[in-house]
Chains A and B, each alone.
Chain A
């Protein structure tokens, strides 16, 4: 079945540091890939998505590139801010089951 694997957290960074959160997946066919963000006390928000190989999703300075050859969709940001502190979820949705599969989430803590 489909699955998503994210790096264990928490990831702790200083403000303006470079961020990478790794995500790899297993799926049948050609899934769509997503990153969601959950701020404290809130629900998940869609951050970015990519629907086919080599697509790059981007939003609010975050980027992720759909890499079919490595089955990865790593999230990156060049300079994080304290306000980026949240939990980040990688997800996929494939044609076999139209319901997204979520990773376990990676907590990001950014210090001033």
Chain B
């Protein structure tokens, strides 16, 4: 149990579908993050929420839409994705968005776009 739970673990979706990824933490952390991990590429930061406010959007296409209703939950809404969006999507949390705090990661959602 890592403390950060992501659902679903695996998702296959068509390019015209709409789906959502869910992330939940009960660690009392105030910052939450979405990362994309693709084979042969560095970890890519997508979004940052600090105290429920979005503080970073790393030039992510609008077909990815984050939502943070409270400090324990983070969603990533997906629509009209492309095959190149297939990847492992990782959620992480930290005490707050600060330099000395390490992250706690979830196990990820393996997304396949067909």
- Report the stretch among A60-68, A71-79, A94-102 that lies at the interface: A94-102
Q: How far is the CA of A67 from the CA of B9 in the complex (A)?
A: 39
A interface size (C-beta, 8 A): 23
Do B42 and A100 touch (CB < 8 A)?
no
Q: How far is the CA of A20 from the CA of B79 in the complex (A)?
A: 43
Do B97 and A99 touch (CB < 8 A)?
yes
Which of the residues B42, B91, B97, B106 comes within 8 Å of A104, measured between beta carbons? Answer: B42
List residues of chain A with CB within 8 A of the CB of B45: 99
B interface list, Cβ under 8 A from A? 2, 4, 6, 41-43, 45, 48, 56, 90-92, 97-100, 102-108
A65 to chain B, nearest CB (A): 17
Q: How far is the CA of A44 from the CA of B105 in the complex (A)?
A: 6
Q: Chain B contact residues: over half helix, strand or loop, or mixed?
A: loop
Do B103 and A100 touch (CB < 8 A)?
yes
Which of the residues A44, A51, A89, A104 comes within 8 Å of B100, measured between beta carbons? Answer: A51
Q: Does A34 belong to the interface (CB within 8 Å)?
A: yes
List residues of chain A with CB within 8 A of the CB of B90: 43-44
- Residue from B43, B99, B107, B108 having most chain A Cβ neighbours under 10 A: B99
Do B100 and A43 touch (CB < 8 A)?
no
Do A42 and B107 touch (CB < 8 A)?
yes
Do B105 and A43 touch (CB < 8 A)?
yes
Q: Write the A16-55 contact mask toward B (1 if CB under 8 angstroms, else 0).
A: 0000000000000001101010000111111001010000
Q: Does A93 belong to the interface (CB within 8 Å)?
A: yes
When C-beta atoms are compared, the residue in chain A nearest to B106 turns out to be A43
**Taking A34-B102, A41-B107, A51-B100 as contacts, is the C-beta distance between A99 and B56 under 8 angstroms?**
yes
Do B99 and A94 touch (CB < 8 A)?
yes
